[in-house]
Copies of this chain bind each other. A is one copy, B any other.
Amino acid sequence: MASTRSRGGSDRVPAHPDLDSIGLQQVLEALVDPVRRHIVGELYAGDQDLACGTIDLPVSRSTATHHFHVLREAGLIRQYYVGTSRMNALRRDEMDAAFPGLLTALVGRHPRA
């Protein structure tokens, strides 16, 4: 996967960290939150990019935006715009290479909450 995307509105695409700069600690701090784990689980299970608004979350819109931000900063998702929709792509291949088995163990089987 290329390190940057430029589908529609590339000037608004936020910065994404290189996974070489991300440690397990940061990934775990992102995924210990059940709302963030739910977001990643939805992306993992659906195996397709999803707009922020299409993932049902029990939090306010501004809190949801914060959670997406944390996931992006931890290298878990890549965000880009299609028109006015902010889309989210799971960085699955990169995460699997950097942290083998982590995504599968944490969100792969919809384990007990």
Contact = CB atoms under 8 A, between A and B. Distances in A.
Interface of A: 23-25, 28-29, 31-32, 34, 98-102, 104-106, 109, 111-113
Copies in the complex: 2
Nearest to A108: B101
Given A102-B106, A105-B106, 19 more contacts: A23-B112, A23-B113, A24-B106, A24-B111, A24-B112, A24-B113, A25-B32, A25-B34, A25-B113, A28-B28, A28-B31, A28-B32, A28-B106, A29-B32, A32-B32, A98-B112, A100-B105, A101-B104, A101-B105
A46 to B, nearest CB: 20
In terms of DSSP, what is the predominant structure of the interface of chain A? Answer: helix
A24 B104 CA distance: 13
